[in-house]
Amino acid sequence: MNCAEDKLTILEQKHALRLLSCLYTNGGSKRTYLYDAISKTTTAPMKRVNELIDLGLIEETVQEDAPFSKHVELTGEGRLVAEFIIEIEKILSKMP
């Protein structure tokens, strides 16, 4: 059995769950605003966003009026995954 190469591995990486939760709670966002909300550095969140795009949980659009500004939001599948994350957060918040 080899579980190291499955898609869950991406969700185990730093900031992945927080990115999905943040986008679910706050809606779509510019990449830079999202990075600032998640971490003091951009390297790990940037990598996670790219991985979540590749996984099909986040989609990215380029703003026509600002071609260097990229907007990210959850896909339908991303919303479903994020809903589970939010439920887990609720359960954990009730625990001592």
Contact 60, 72 (CB under 8 A): yes
Q: How far apart are CA 94 and CA 89, in angstroms?
A: 9
Mean pLDDT of 8-28: 91
- Structural domain contains residue 42: yes
For 40-94, the pLDDT digits (tens) are 877 788 889 999 999 999 999 987 777 778 889 999 999 999 999 999 999 999 9
Domain count within the chain: 1
What CATH number does residue 61 fall under?
1.10.10.10
- Structural domain contains residue 51: yes
- Structural domain contains residue 59: yes
Give the residue numbers spanning the domain of 60. Answer: 15-94
pTM of the complete model: 0.84
Confidence band of 17 (pLDDT split at 50, 70, 90): very high
Q: How far apart are CA 30 and CA 69, in angstroms?
A: 7
